[in-house]
Structure 1
Amino acid sequence: MARPQAFNTTEALHQAMNVFWHKGFEATSMADLLAATGLSKSSLYGAFGGKRELFVAAFDAYREARMREMRGMLDAAPAREAIERFFRKIVFDAGDGDPSRGCMSINQAVEMAPRDPEIRGRVLQDFAMIEEALTQVIERGQAEGSVGDADARHLARLLVLAFPGLQIMVRAGSDRDRLEASLEALFSMLDRDR
C-alpha cells in the first residue's frame, strides 16, 4: 500500500512556478526545485514527474491564475478604465516586485516557444485569449461611448502586440516617465475622434 502524500502539492507547484518564472526553464536545476519546494527527489518525481512535466504544470497554473486575474480586471470597471488599468498594472507591478520575472508567458515566448511546439501552443493560446478578452471589453467600451468606433478586433490585436513590448521595456529598466508616455500613446488608439 502506498504511503499517503505528506506535502501540499499546490504549494509545491507554486514554489516551483516561482523558480521557473524567475530563472526560466533552462537555468532552473533540479537542485533549485528541490530547495524551493522542500521535497525529496523521489517525492518530486512521484508527484510531478520530471523537470519538464513540473514546468508544464507550473506554467499552466500560472496561465490559469493570470487569465482569471485579467478577466476580473477587465470586467470590474467601465471599459476604457479597465483597459488602462490592465496595462498600467504591468508598470506598477514592476515597481512593487521583481521586474526580472516579467510575464511568464512572454518569457516562454522567447525561451522555449521557438523550439518547443507544446509551449508555443500554450503561448499562442494566451495571446489569443488576451485578444478575445480585449475585443470584448473594447466592444463594451464602444457601447458605453468610452472607446472610439474603430474595428474592435483590430484594436485588440494592436494592444496584444503592445503587451510584450511594454513587458520588455519594464524588464529592461525603462524609466517611469518614458513608460507613462508610451502608455498614453497606446491609450490614444482608443479615443473616439481618431
Structure 2
Amino acid sequence: MARTKEFDPDVALQRALELFWRKGYEATSIADLVEHLGIGRASLYATFGDKRELYLKAYDRYLENGIDFVDLLSQPGPVLPAVRALVERYAEEAAHDVLRRGCLVVNTAVELVPRDRVLARRVEANWDFLEATLTSALARARAQGELAEDKEPRALARFLLTFMQGIRVIGKSSNDPARLRDAADQALSILS
C-alpha cells in the first residue's frame, strides 16, 4: 500500500521557490532543499523529480505569483497612468527588497540561461509576453492621444522592458532607494 504524503506539496514548492530565489540554483544543494522543505530526500524526488525539475516548477510558481501587469495595462481609460504605475512598482519593489533577492527571472537569466536552453526559452517567453503587453498598451495610448504620434510603441516597450529588468539587478545590490526612484522618473520622462 502506498504511503500518504506527510507534507503539503504546494507548501514545499513555495519553500523551494523561496530558497532558490534567495540562494540561486547552483548554491542550493539537495541537502539544503531537504532541510529547508522539511521532507526526506526520497519524498523530494518522488514528488518533484530532480533538483532541475524542482527549479523549473519553482520558476513557474514565481511567474504565477508575479505582478499582474496584464490586468493593470488592459484597464479601460487612460493607459499612461497604468504604465507609469507599473514602472514605479518595479522600482519600489526593487528599492524595498530587504532580502536582496532581485527577480527570479533575471537571476535565472544571469545564472542559468547561458547553458540551459529550456530556461532560456522560458525567460525569453516571459520577456516577449511583457514586451507584447507593453507594446499593445502603448499603441492604445498613442491611439487615444496620450502618446505623441512620433513615439514608436514597440521601441518604447523594449526600452521599458530592458529598464525594468535592469532596475531589478540594481535593486539587488544598491542600498540607495533614491537611485531607483530617480531612474524610474527619468525612464518615464520619455513617455511625455
Partner of 2:109: 109
Deviation readout 1:7-43 (Å, 9 max, x if unpaired): 2211111110010011110001112212221111111
SS of 2:113's partner is coil
> What is the rounded CA distance, in whole Å, between the counterparts of 1:97 and 1:146 in structure 2?
32
2-side partners of 1:152 and 1:101: how far apart? 31
Displacement of 1:60: 1.2
Give the 3 Å change call, closer, same or farther, for CA 19–84 of structure 1 in structure 2. same
- 1:184 maps to what in 2? 185
Q: Deviations over 1:120-156 (max 9, x none)?
A: 1111111101101111111222233323331211111
Query: Relative to structure 1, is the Cα distance of residues 78 and 7 closer, same or farther in structure 2, using a 3 angstrom cutoff?
Result: farther
* TM-score normalised by structure 1 residue count: 0.89
Listed as ranges, the matches of 1:1-194 within 5 Å are: 1-66=1-66, 69-76=68-75, 78-149=78-149, 150-173=151-174, 175-191=176-192
Quick one: higher RCO (CA 8 Å, sep 6+), 1 or 2? Answer: 2
C-alpha separation in 2, matches of 1:161 and 1:175: 20
Instruction: Give, in angstroms, the shift of residue 99 of structure 1.
Output: 4.8
CA distance in 1, matches of 2:191, 2:120: 30
Q: For each residue in 1:61-80, what CA deviation from the matched residue of structure 2 results, as whole angstroms up to 9, or x when unmatched?
A: 1123326x222333357421
Q: Distance in 2 between matches of 1:78 and 1:16?
A: 40
Please, what TM-score do these two structures have when normalized by structure 2?
Answer: 0.90
Matched-pair identity in %: 34
Q: Which amino acid counterpart does residue 37 of structure 2 have in structure 1?
A: T
Q: Distance in 2 between matches of 1:156 and 1:179?
A: 19
Tell me, yes or no, if the aligned pair for 1:99 and 1:170 is still in contact at 8 Å: no
* Cα pair 1:131 1:160 within 8 Å, conserved: yes
Structure 1 unaligned runs (5+)? none
Instruction: Using the TM superposition, give the Cα deviation of residue 5 of structure 1 relative to its aligned residue in structure 2, in angstroms.
Output: 2.3
* Secondary structure of 1:2's aligned partner: coil
Q: 9-18 or 176-185: which moved more? A: 176-185
Q: For residue 187 of structure 1, what is the amino acid of its counterpart?
A: L
Moved segments of 4+, more than 6 Å: none
Secondary structure of the equivalent of 1:7? coil
- Counterpart CA distance in 1 for 2:59 and 2:167 is 21
Counterpart residue identity of residue 167, structure 2: L
